[in-house]
């Protein structure tokens, strides 16, 4: 893999429970890049993202994510890959029986952090970065949807990932909150250099926060940048 590329897919087949959804997927994303993934509902966006974080195996072709070979990835290597990733979900997927602090502490403890002061410092650092430092002791179900998504982003950031994968991060949010969340994601990308792959159907946000766009359509991934390289 090129040292500057954080994702490389070559002629990959992507499947879900009901069969193949994408074929002949070719895609490359550089470190530090911000990329939108668009496409109609059912076009394969979520399946492609699940392939990238090794929730679904690739059937054909080859792929590299954060230096890990997806084609030959062993089960014991999946947690190591995911330490390099931050994943943001449309429905937040926070632990509702724990407060905000404990949601983030769970991530750090699961990857081997033991010193409470270091855990405290890192959690407050990322909660401050996403604008909810005053919510650390709140139960997650007491937060607004926008606050929950900010906590979801903080959770994705807490292990200092190389790449954030966000699946419709504004899908359940009103337009004003959506704009705030997209501004936050672009700001994190610009300030920290963490790569961002954002699945969305919100074209207003793409217009407001422009970046490279790739599209799942007609059973494959249309990437104008890859098409230009091939010419």
Query: Whole-angstrom distance between the N-terminal and C-terminal Cα of the chain?
Result: 21
| Number of domains comprising the chain | 1
Compute the 3-state secondary structure of the chain and give helix, strand, coil in percent, each to the nearest 5: 40, 25, 35
Q: Please state the pTM of the whole predicted model.
A: 0.91
**Residue 133 to residue 14: CA distance in whole angstroms:** 39
pLDDT at residue 172, rounded to an integer: 85
Q: Residue 125: inside a domain, yes or no?
A: yes
Q: Residue 225: inside a domain, yes or no?
A: no
Q: Residue 29: inside a domain, yes or no?
A: no
Q: Residue 124: inside a domain, yes or no?
A: yes
Q: Residue 18: inside a domain, yes or no?
A: no
Catalogue the E-assigned strands of the chain: 5-16, 19-30, 34-39, 62-65, 68-69, 85-89, 163-167, 195-199, 212-217, 220-222
Give which of 229, 195, 199, 223 is closest to 66, Cα–Cα.
195
Q: What does the pLDDT look like over 116-141, one tens digit per residue?
A: 999 999 999 999 999 999 999 999 99
pLDDT at residue 52, rounded to an integer: 96
Q: Which residues of the chain have pLDDT under 50?
A: 1-2, 229-231
pLDDT at residue 227, rounded to an integer: 53
Helices (H), 130-174: 145-157
Q: Residue 98: inside a domain, yes or no?
A: yes
- The parent domain of residue 127 ranges over 94-160
**Residue 82 to residue 57: CA distance in whole angstroms:** 14
Quote the radius of gyration of the chain (alpha carbons, Å): 17
Q: Residue 165: inside a domain, yes or no?
A: no
- Express as a percent the part of the chain with pLDDT over 70: 96
Q: Residue 147: inside a domain, yes or no?
A: yes
């Amino acid at each position: 893999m090129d040292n500057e590329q954080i994702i490389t897919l070559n002629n990959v087949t992507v499947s879900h429970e009901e069969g193949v959804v994408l074929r002949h997927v070719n895609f490359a994303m550089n470190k530090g890049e911000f990329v939108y993934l668009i496409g109609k509902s059912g076009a394969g966006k979520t399946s492609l993202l699940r392939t990238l974080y090794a929730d679904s195996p690739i059937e054909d072709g080859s792929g590299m994510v954060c230096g890990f070979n997806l084609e030959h990835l062993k089960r014991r290597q999946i947690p190591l890959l995911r330490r390099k990733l931050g994943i943001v979900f449309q429905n937040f997927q926070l632990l509702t029986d724990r407060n905000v602090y404990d949601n983030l502490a769970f991530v750090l403890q699961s990857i081997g952090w033991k010193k409470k002061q270091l855990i405290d410092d890192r959690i407050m650092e990322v909660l401050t970065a996403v604008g909810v430092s005053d919510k650390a002791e709140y139960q997650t179900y007491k937060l607004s949807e926008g606050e929950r998504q900010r906590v979801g982003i903080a959770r994705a950031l807490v292990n200092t990932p190389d790449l954030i994968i966000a699946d419709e991060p504004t899908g359940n949010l009103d337009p004003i909150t959506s704009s705030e969340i997209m501004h936050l994601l672009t700001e994190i990308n610009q300030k920290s250099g963490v790569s961002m792959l954002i699945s969305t159907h919100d074209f207003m946000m793409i217009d407001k926060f422009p970046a490279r766009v790739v599209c799942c359509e007609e059973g494959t991934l249309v990437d104008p940048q890859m098409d230009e390289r091939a010419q």
